[in-house]
Amino acid sequence: MTHYATTEARTQTMVSTLFKSLYMQMAAALTVTGLTAYFLSQSARFWEMLATNPSMLWILIFAQIGVVVWLSARVMRMSMGAATMLFIAYSVLTGITLSSIFLIYDMGTIATTFFVTAGTFFAMSLIGYITRMDLSRIGSMLYMMLIGIIIATVVNFFVASTTLYWVITYVGVIVFVGLIAWDTQKIRNIFIEHASADENGFKLALLGALILYLDFINLFLYLLRIFGNSRD
């Protein structure tokens, strides 16, 4: 009994250590993204460059996709330093593509939406961390809904339906609120299975930070649609 309790305590300590690393990396990435977006939104030269080179936006978007796919697929084969630098690069690219929100929404709305997102994230991640209920079935359903959102978004790009826009928005909020809890539980289970706070464990923490960072950013953007007051 004592041996079991000791082993469980060590596992909890290891998981806590890796989650601390995860949340610190995620917070750093969000900070980099926010600062990049804000400072670029204030740069007239940057917007002039985009206006004269409209294809540059697509290059940035494809670069984002490429970096996140590469990092997700090869993180365990990289050094910790290389993986961290790639995560920072992705955070910067995301900041560049999100810089327009400071031109569309007022600062108060962005700040309010950020804190609502942060509070929701904290609550749902905590639920995912402490619950003993298996969320895998819910997670599978949420991923199917996410695929539906992606398809509907592409369709709405052509049909420009206001009704479909708001359906996508509210369903998007539900999906990413749920994914935060499920992804947290999934990451926790991966940490327990790995059972060591070694370099590979911290690489897993970085990958977990990337997953939850993406959940946070997407939830923030959907909530911004709801709470946002567009500048006239």
Convert the pLDDT of each residue in 116-159 to its tens digit: 999 999 999 999 999 988 898 888 899 999 999 999 999 998 99
What CA–CA distance (Å, rounded) separates 87 from 8?
32
| pTM over the 0.85 mark | yes
The reply to whether 50 falls in a domain is yes
Task: Note down the domain range covering 19.
Answer: 2-227
What CA–CA distance (Å, rounded) separates 91 from 85?
10
What CA–CA distance (Å, rounded) separates 31 from 34?
5
The reply to whether 232 falls in a domain is no
Q: If you average pLDDT over every residue of the chain, what do you get? A: 90
The reply to whether 162 falls in a domain is yes
What does the pLDDT read at residue 57? Answer: 82
Instruction: Count structural domains, the chain.
Output: 1
Q: Using CB atoms within 10 Å of the CB of residue 194, give its burial: 0 to 12 exposed, 13 to 18 middle, 19+ buried.
A: middle
The reply to whether 77 falls in a domain is yes
- 179 Cα distance to chain centroid: 10
The reply to whether 65 falls in a domain is yes
The reply to whether 115 falls in a domain is yes
Q: Is the pLDDT of residue 181 over 50?
A: yes
The reply to whether 20 falls in a domain is yes
What is the per-residue burial (b if ≥16 Cβ within 10 Å, else e) of 48-74?
eebeeeeeeeeeeeeebeebbeebeee
pLDDT band at 2; cut points 50, 70, 90 = low
* Of 231 and 150, more confident: 150
